[in-house]
Amino acid sequence: MDFKRIEITMGLLNKIIAYWYDCIKNEDILEKDISINVRSKAVLYPFDNDPFVFDKKENLIFVSGNEKLTGFSEYITTRGYEPYYGYPILFYFDDDSKKYLIAPLFIIKVKFIKKDGKLYLQKDEQYPTCGIQAFSRLGFRTEEIADISQSLERLFKSELSNGGNLAEKCLEIIQKETELPINEPIDPGNLTNSKRLSKTMTQGLYNKSLVFAGENTVYNIHLLQDLLELKEKNDLNFTALSFTLE
């Protein structure tokens, strides 16, 4: 028996399971849209500049003096949610719900941390991800979003350090595939969060940001529990899953 081959196969199967787990765990998050009149599940217009999506530095943002963000931190902690940051945002009217909604174009996981008795917000992932809801509203199909995501990931991993240049390059990639309805310049260093969105404003992209709560549906929670158990198994090579590596 080739024990080395079995060991390699088992490792690959565990990696595949881990990938499925990550995909499903993020599915609800990346498809997020939020009402412009949100009260608890998000904090709209939190910063004057973008500290997480196009800024590659590991910024530690002081939020102890911000009543909305501290309240939001308590809200997600008591409910077991996780915080995410989105920028820029797509503003649109949803015909099904009859509501004005926003969806972030790029999403990155963040975390609240306490240091010396003070509360801070910091990115919890190295690179942002495409917001599926926003991209779908812009007319992209699933496979097109996947292709663009790969191109954008390479760009985020590049040596471009200037946030403005990085944002411009990212938008160029998207604009090659569709005409973006940009209603104000996307400038990471000078957000327009001081001016709130209203129903009278034109639908499209705005130079604004938000922090929102990430949660999974009941359906996905059961899938995640099953996959989490599979991730820990060391005998996947002897299950029906082994056919994937034949």
Whether 22 shows a pLDDT value over 70: the answer reads no
Average pLDDT estimate for 58-64: 93
Which residues contact residue 166 at a Cβ distance below 8 angstroms, ignoring those fewer than 6 apart?
54, 155, 156, 160, 188
Dihedral sign (CA 222, 110, 84, 138): negative
pLDDT category at 3 given cuts 50, 70, 90 is very low
Whole-number average pLDDT of the chain: 84
**Number of C-beta neighbours around residue 32 at 10 A:** 24
Average pLDDT estimate for 18-46: 76
Q: What is the pLDDT of residue 1?
A: 44
Highest mean pLDDT among 145-149, 229-233, 241-245: 145-149
- Report the b/e string of 200-222 with b at 16+ CB within 10 A: eeeeebbbbbbbbbbbbeeeeee
**Axis crossing angle, helix 163-175 with helix 142-156, rounded to the nearest 10:** 150
Average pLDDT estimate for 215-228: 61
Q: What is the pLDDT of residue 19?
A: 65
Average pLDDT estimate for 231-244: 64
Whether 9 shows a pLDDT value over 60: the answer reads no
Whether 242 shows a pLDDT value over 70: the answer reads no
pLDDT category at 28 given cuts 50, 70, 90 is low
